[in-house]
DNA sequence: TGCCAGGCCGGGT
DNA sequence: ACCCGGCATGGC
């Protein structure tokens, strides 16, 4: 399995080049982006992020002090805006109650312990927690998303009913523990999923993974 | 026009 | 332990 996973990575890397992800300039921006993109296209998230940036709200303190009504209005373009405003507040509450509002302190915590803590926050599930750990914290945690599952499924690398932990283990037990590698790998999956492995369009020859060894 | 997008929660079986 | 409805905007 290690061999095929590395084959896929090299193939995608050769096709798309280095991704240099995540589109976010600061840790807090990445974290907010991870929440806002839940079941939502990134283009909508960008509008919401732009609103927050324009109002100078992309800081831990500003997000603590803003009223939830105004917050939800600003993130409206990202959809589910009432839910997501609560989720952002829940994360900020956690950050202040546990780490005195310091992301640096938060990221000093052992990776797996922090993951458990993040998962206890209402509104943060496995993908969001792992995105925070990988992209904001640069931890070697593999992020599984809808693209990942669809691509694996389409190439018969996982079963239809495979769950999050199973798919995550597939990568983490068969690849070197390397945050940069996991970062690039996931980013390449997103790129592929958007461009040539869309849901509406079944497997085609133009897919770089159309032919695989073994 | 209807369908879909980088999930997650809560209530019901 | 699963299953399902709800949440909501913008792009094609």
Contact A175, A8 (CB under 8 A): no
Give the pLDDT score at A207: 73
- Per-residue pLDDT reduced to its tens digit, A100-112: 999 999 999 999 9
Q: Is the CB of A193 under 7 A from strand B?
A: yes
Q: What burial class does residue A213 get, using C-beta atoms within 10 Å of its C-beta: 0-12 exposed, 13-18 middle, 19+ buried?
A: exposed
Q: In the complex, which nucleotide's C1' lies nearest to the CA atom of residue A85?
A: C7
Residue A210: predicted pLDDT = 75
pLDDT tens-digit series, residues A134-144: 999 999 999 99
Virtual torsion, Cα A34, A38, A40, A42, nearest 10 deg: 10
> Is there a contact between A119 and A105 (Cβ–Cβ < 8 Å)?
no
Q: What is the DSSP letter of A197?
A: S
Q: Residue A155: which of A181, A123, A125, A189 has the closest Cα?
A: A189
Statement: residue A89 has pLDDT above 80 = yes
Locate the DSSP E strands across A23-150: none
pTM for this one? Answer: 0.96
What H or E segment, with its residue span, contains residue A36? helix A27-36
Task: Judge whether A110 and A141 are in contact, CB under 8 Å.
Answer: no
Q: Give the model's pLDDT for residue A213.
A: 59
Residues A161-201: tens digit of each pLDDT: 999 999 999 999 999 999 999 999 999 999 999 988 777 77
Q: Which residue is nearest to nucleotide C10 (CA to C1')?
A: A44
Q: Is A59 left (phi over 0), alpha (psi -120 to 50) or beta?
A: beta
Determine the distance between A77 (CA) and C12 (C1') in angstroms: 17
Spatial distance between the Cα atoms of A106 and A103, rounded to a whole number of angstroms: 5
């Amino acid at each position: 399995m290690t061999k095929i996973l590395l084959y896929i990575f090299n193939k995608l890397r050769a096709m798309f080049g280095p991704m240099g992800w995540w589109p976010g300039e600061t840790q807090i921006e990445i974290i907010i982006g991870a929440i806002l993109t839940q079941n939502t296209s990134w283009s909508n998230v960008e509008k919401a992020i732009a609103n927050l940036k324009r109002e100078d709200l992309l800081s831990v303190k500003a997000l603590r002090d803003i009223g939830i009504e105004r917050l939800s209005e600003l993130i409206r373009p990202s959809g589910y805006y009432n839910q997501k405003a609560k989720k952002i507040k829940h994360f900020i509450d956690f950050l202040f109650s546990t780490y005195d509002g310091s992301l640096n302190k938060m990221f000093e915590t052992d990776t797996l312990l922090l993951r458990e803590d993040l998962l206890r926050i209402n509104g943060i599930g496995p993908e969001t927690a792992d995105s925070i750990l990988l992209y904001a914290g640069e931890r070697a945690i593999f992020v599984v998303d809808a693209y990942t599952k669809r691509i694996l499924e389409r190439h018969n690398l996982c079963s239809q009913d495979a769950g999050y932990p199973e798919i995550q283990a597939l990568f983490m037990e068969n690849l070197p523990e390397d945050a940069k590698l996991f970062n690039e790998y996931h980013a390449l999956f997103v790129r592929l999923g958007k461009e040539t492995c869309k849901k509406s369009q079944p497997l085609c020859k133009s897919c770089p993974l159309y032919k695989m060894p073994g």
